[in-house]
Amino acid sequence: MGSAVERLIAFRYLRARRDEGFISVIAGFSLIGITLGVGTLIVVMSVMNGFRVEMLAQMSSISGQLGVQSNRGALEPTPDLLTRMAAVPGVASATPTAEGNLMAVAGDRVRGVVLRGMRPDDLRNRAPLASAIEGTPESRERYRALCKVEGDKPIDWGTLKGFGDDFSVVIGRRLAELMNLKVGDRLQLVSPVSVATPLGVMPRSAAVKVAAIFCTGMYDYDSNFIYAPLQDAQHMLNLGPNVTGIEVFVAGKGSTDATRRLLMQAVGSEGWVFDWFQANAGFFSAVVAQTNMIFLVLTMIVIVAAFNIVSSLVMLVRTKTADIAILRTMGASRAAIMRIFLLDGLAIGGAGTVLGVVLGLAFARNIEAIRQWLQRTFDIVLFDQTLYLLAELPSQIEWSEVAGIAAMALVFALLASLYPAARAARLDPVEGLRRE
């Protein structure tokens, strides 16, 4: 933009003389404001993207990308239905589950929990649940690191070898901590489903043994879910041979929408098919709304910095009145004068944008390490697992968003430079020399 002479003059104007120091201070604040605004936007958008992606990935890895429920209450997972579902292109597995709310009692501790019944082999093949117990050394280390115990006490994670032989259960790490339970302990499960006894109608209950402890890194699962053999869960929930749903995993990176349409044809009138985004539409809609609101609020930082560009360029034009008049008398056109001051504004905005992108990407890539350091140094909680449901602060950089934020900052800088540049271009050379 502009000739070599125009660029030379524009950049010389940015190097203020001693009597123009205040102008450089304002320009510096403009640069810092744009840097902070762009960097903050990149960090916040990366964290919000990571939160959304990680939550969806965690949910789908534990409960499948698709689900099937009956149109009329409980669903009977007949071999024919499971075979038809497994034959659908894109379906990796179809797992029947029985789920319901119970009361868990251990000593003097009582807590509402979610009982989820699964076939033993299905539980062993569910990586987020079984990896901390019987996975590879790498997977065990990763999942166990998500649920560290205070003081780094060793944890007995148990085993899944005996799961399914009797009414044994697998509980989350946080639930074990809240209920003061360890592998081998027993707890009482009380179901709201009543059963007739010689003493009258009583709630259905069972004493179960903790066979293993799992850790997914999601606080909701680790503190509220209890996994039990499918037939025992069906008995506790009084479902008979029925289940509450069938969890479906999509193979590889196949299209969930395409698999869902084919699955609907295979299931027919026996049930309805949904994906986990539909099941949690309220949650993800709230995340999107919050992301948009944060984006708008933080954009104001860039706009305020752009207003500083206006003030700094206006003052620069006033101090360079004689220079502008001399340039005009030497033959410089109005367009050339305008381009000189546009270059000044874009130089401030461009430098701030580049620094903001670099700073934002550096923070976004190391946000979890920075959070851990801040928490250890200042003994504060910056990311509460009980509130955000994740054990680590996620970050997902979307390069299209980074490019959009940078382009937006440059556009604001250009728009902020238009008025001062136009004012300089309209300056009458005779009037400018007379003032001097």
Q: What is the pLDDT of residue 385?
A: 62
Inform me whether the pLDDT recorded for 20 exceeds 60: no
Mean pLDDT (the chain, rounded): 83
Which residue is listed with tokens 């024919």?
Answer: 80
Does the pLDDT of residue 435 top 60, yes or no?
no
The runs of H, that is alpha helices, within 187-245 are: 219-224, 230-236
**How many Å is the maximal CA-CA distance in the chain?**
111
Share of the chain above pLDDT 90, in %: 22
CB 187 within 8 A of CB 195: no
Q: How far is residue 239's CA from residue 74's CA, in Å, rounded to a whole number?
A: 7
Q: Mind listing the pLDDT tens digit for each residue in 65-111?
A: 888 988 777 788 888 999 999 898 888 889 999 999 999 999 889 99
Please determine, for residue 430, whether its predicted confidence score (pLDDT) is greater than 50: yes
Q: Establish how many alpha carbons lie within 13 A of residue 92's alpha carbon, considering only the half-sphere containing its beta carbon.
A: 17
Query: What tokens appear for 270 in the block?
Result: 């026996």
Half-sphere exposure of 327 (CA within 13 A, CB side): 22
With beta carbons less than 8 A apart as the criterion, state whether 173 and 155 touch.
yes
How, if at all, do strands 225-229 and 109-118 pair? parallel
The predicted pLDDT at position 386 comes to 57
pLDDT value, residue 104: 93
Q: Does residue 32 have a pLDDT over 80?
A: yes
**Nearest CA to 181 among 222, 152, 144?**
222
For the chain, how many helices (H) and strands (E)?
Answer: 18, 9
pLDDT tens digit sequence for 256-310:
888 888 888 888 888 888 887 776 777 777 778 888 888 888 888 888 888 888 8
**Is-contact 164 124, C-beta < 8 A?**
no
Burial class (CB in 10 A: 0-12, 13-18, 19+), 416: buried
**pLDDT tier at 162 (50, 70, 90 boundaries)?**
confident
> What are residue 105's DSSP bridge partners?
110, 188
- Note the pLDDT tens digit of each residue in 196-246: 556 556 678 889 999 999 888 778 888 899 999 999 999 888 888 899 999
In angstroms, what CA-CA distances link 176 with 3, 111, 171? 71, 11, 7
Can you give the pLDDT at residue 436?
55
Helix (H) or strand (E) holding 6: helix 4-14
Place of tokens 């503190």: 223
Q: What is the phi-psi region of residue 84: left when phi exceeds 0, alpha when psi lies from -120 to 50, beta otherwise?
A: alpha
Per cent of the chain over pLDDT 70 is 86
Contact 168, 231 (CB under 8 A): no
Asked if residues 247 and 64 have their Cβ atoms less than 8 Å apart, the reply is yes
| Residue 203 vs residues 174, 189, 190, 293: alpha-carbon distances, Å | 27, 10, 7, 47
pLDDT class for 151, splitting at 50, 70, 90?
Answer: very low
The DSSP secondary structure of 364-424, one letter per residue, reads HHTHHHHHHHHHHHH---SS-HHHH-BSS------HHHHHHHHHHHHHHHHHHHHHHHHHH
Q: Which residue has the higher pLDDT, 63 or 245?
A: 245
Query: What is the reported pTM?
Result: 0.72
How is residue 19 written in tokens?
């009597």
| Beta-carbon count within 10 A of 197 CB | 9
